[in-house]
């Protein structure tokens, strides 16, 4: 469990450094916008996972194992979906009243909210199991 926590922590700090120092190469505004969206979504998901991992370090192993069964599937799925949303493949030029970007944030909030609620449910199930 400590190895997983350390890996999540190193990845979160690495993404924060990449985003803060802008260590990626983009020459257009569109490229920077997409890169910032992808890095921010990835950092939010890994940061949330890291915080949950830190809290789970103080709980019994059965609770962590219950959560980990959920997280090892949910984190990659949400990460891929958030990258697809941030790459804006579903947008058309202009869109309906040029409002395509308005739907990105609610989709991301729904995905991350699902992850948090699912994590809480799995933690509760692990707590109730014997």
Residue range(s) defining the domain that contains residue 96: 2-128
Predicted TM-score (pTM) of the model is 0.65
Q: How much is the pLDDT for 58?
A: 81
The tally of domains found in the chain comes to 1
**How many Cα atoms are found within 13 Å in the side-chain-facing hemisphere of 85?**
23
Q: d(Cα 10, Cα 4) in Å, to the nearest integer?
A: 10
pLDDT, tens digit (0-9, with 9 covering 90-100), for 48-84 = 877 877 887 788 888 888 988 999 999 999 989 988 8
Read off the tokens for 95: 């869109």
**DSSP 8-state secondary structure symbol assigned to residue 91:** -
Residue whose pair of structure tokens reads 């400590």 in the numeric block:
2
Neighbouring C-beta atoms of residue 99, cutoff 10 Å: 9
Q: How much is the pLDDT for 117?
A: 95
| Strands (E) located in the chain | none
Parts of the chain with a pLDDT under 50: none
């Amino acid at each position: 469990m400590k190895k997983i926590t350390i890996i999540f922590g190193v990845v979160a700090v690495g993404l924060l450094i990449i985003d803060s120092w802008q260590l990626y190469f983009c020459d257009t505004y569109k490229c920077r916008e997409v890169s910032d969206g992808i890095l921010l979504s990835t950092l939010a998901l890994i940061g949330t996972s890291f915080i949950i991992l830190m809290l789970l370090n103080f709980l019994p192993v059965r609770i962590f194992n219950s959560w980990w069964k959920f997280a090892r599937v949910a984190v990659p799925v949400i990460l891929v979906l958030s990258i697809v949303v941030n790459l804006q493949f579903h947008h058309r030029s202009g869109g309906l009243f040029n409002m395509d970007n308005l739907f990105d944030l609610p989709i991301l909030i729904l995905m991350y909210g699902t992850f948090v609620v699912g994590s809480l449910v799995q933690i509760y199930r692990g707590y109730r199991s014997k």
